[in-house]
Amino acid sequence: MKAMVILVAAALGACSTMEREAPPDVVRAFRALDRNGDGYITRDEARSDDTVARAFDLADRNGDGKLDPGEFRLIPR
């Protein structure tokens, strides 16, 4: 249970860290692509942006099939 709480806190922290450290246009782009608002960009959601779609596999560093805010920030704009 304690590990789950830490995991959830880390996930929430990643979103707030992105908002503090990422340029506003990157935050807006992430939110626009994250259509379901779950805090991740899936491959399906990424298809609406050619740059993100092409870089998806390289940016998905943990190989979970979705981009978290930190992975999204790795994609050059």
| CATH code of residue 49 | 1.10.238.10
The model's confidence at residue 9, banded by pLDDT at 50, 70 and 90, is very low
DSSP state of 77: -
Closest CA to 46 of 71, 73, 19, 66: 66
* Confidence class for position 7, pLDDT limits 50, 70, 90: very low
Q: Above 60 in pLDDT, residue 11?
A: no
Tokens standing for residue 38:
């779950």
- Domain span at residue 43 reads 2-72
- pLDDT for res 5: 38
pTM above 0.85, yes or no: no
SS3 62: coil
In a domain, 22, yes or no: yes
Residue 11 lies in a domain: yes
